[in-house]
Amino acid sequence: MGYSGSTMEKQTSSPGPMLPASSPLPSRRQSRARRFIFGGFALIAASYLAASHFDAFPDTTPLWQPDHQERFKAGCVQPDPIFPSKDEELDKLQDFIATEAFRNASIARLSGAVQVKSESFDDLGAIGEDPRWDVFYDFQSYLKTAFPLIHEKLLVETVNSHGLLYTWKGTDESLKPSLLMAHQDTVPVPPETISAWTYPPCGAYDGRYIWGRGASDCKNLLIAELEAIELLLEANFQPKRTVLLSFGFDEECSGKQGAQQLSTFIHQRYGDDGLAVIVDEGSGYQEAWGSRFFLPGTAEKGYTDIFITVRMPGGHSSVPPPHTSIGVLSELITTIEANQGYPTRLDDENPYYSQLQCGAAYSPDFPKKLKKLLAHRKSSSSAHKCKAKPDHLALEAAKQNPYTRYLMQTSQAVDVITGGIKINALPERVTVTVNHRINIGETTQVVRDRLTGLAGKIAHKYNLTLHAFDGKEEASSIILTETNDVLETAPVTPTDASVDGPYKVFAGTTRAVYSKDVIVSPGIMTGNTDTRYYWALTKHIFRFDPGYDPEDPSDGFENGIHTVNERVSVAGHINAVKWLTTWVRNMDEAKF
Give the residue numbers annotated as catalytic, written as ranges.
185, 251
- Establish whether 549 is an annotated binding residue: no
d(CA 317, CA 327): 13
Q: Residue 524 belongs to what H/E stretch? A: strand 523-525
Neighbours of 81 (CB within 10 A): 17
Name residue 158's beta-bridge partners.
164
Query: Cα separation of 463 and 41, whole Å?
Result: 56
- Residues contacting residue 478 through CB under 8 Å, at least 6 positions apart: 308, 309, 310, 311, 328, 332, 455, 458, 459, 464, 465, 466, 467
Those residues whose C-beta lies under 8 Å from the C-beta of residue 547, and which sit 6 or more positions away, are 220, 221, 224, 284, 568, 569, 572, 573, 575, 576, 579
Among 587, 571, 440, 570, which Cα is nearest to 507's? Answer: 587
Separation CA 247–CA 180 (nearest Å): 9
Residue 415 labeled ligand binder: no
E-only strand ranges, 358-514: 411-419, 429-438, 465-468, 477-482
Strand partners of residue 467: 479
186 - beta bridge partners? 119
In eight-state DSSP terms, residue 364 is T
* 432 SS3 class: strand
Rounded CA separation 443/432 (Å) = 22
Q: How far is CA 425 from CA 419, 464, 562, in A?
A: 11, 20, 37
153 φ, ψ to 5°? -95, -30
Concatenate the DSSP letters of all residues of 167-202 into one string: EE--S-TTSPPEEEEEES-B----GGGGGG-SS-TE
Closest CA to 475 of 493, 463, 457, 492: 463
Name the β-bridge partners of 167.
Answer: 155, 244
Side by side, the strands of the sheet bearing 202-205 are 202-205, 209-212, 567-569
Q: Confirm or deny that 449 is annotated as ligand binding.
A: no
First and final C-alpha spacing in the chain: 45
| Cα 180 to Cα 166: distance, rounded to the nearest angstrom | 10
- Phi (first) and psi of residue 466, to 5 degrees: -105, 125
Sign, Cα dihedral of 335, 339, 341, 345: positive
E runs forming strands in 363-520: 411-419, 429-438, 465-468, 477-482, 519-520
Q: Taking the CA atoms of the chain, what radius of gyration do you get in angstroms? A: 29
Considering only the C-alpha atoms of the chain, give the largest distance between any 2 of them, rounded to a whole number of Å.
109
8-state DSSP, 487: B
User: Rounded to an integer, what distance in angstroms lies between the CA atom of residue 527 and that of residue 283?
Assistant: 10
Query: How far is Cα 406 from Cα 350, in angstroms, rounded to an integer?
Result: 12
Establish whether 562 is an annotated binding residue.
yes
Do residues 522 and 296 lie in contact, with contact meaning Cβ atoms separated by under 8 Å?
A: yes
The number of helix segments (H) and strand segments (E) in the chain equals: 16, 19
Contact present, 118 and 214 (Cβ < 8 Å): yes
- 134 in a known ligand binding site: no
Annotated binding residues for Zn(2+), written as ranges, equal 183, 217, 252, 280, 562
The binding site consists of: 183, 217, 252, 280, 562
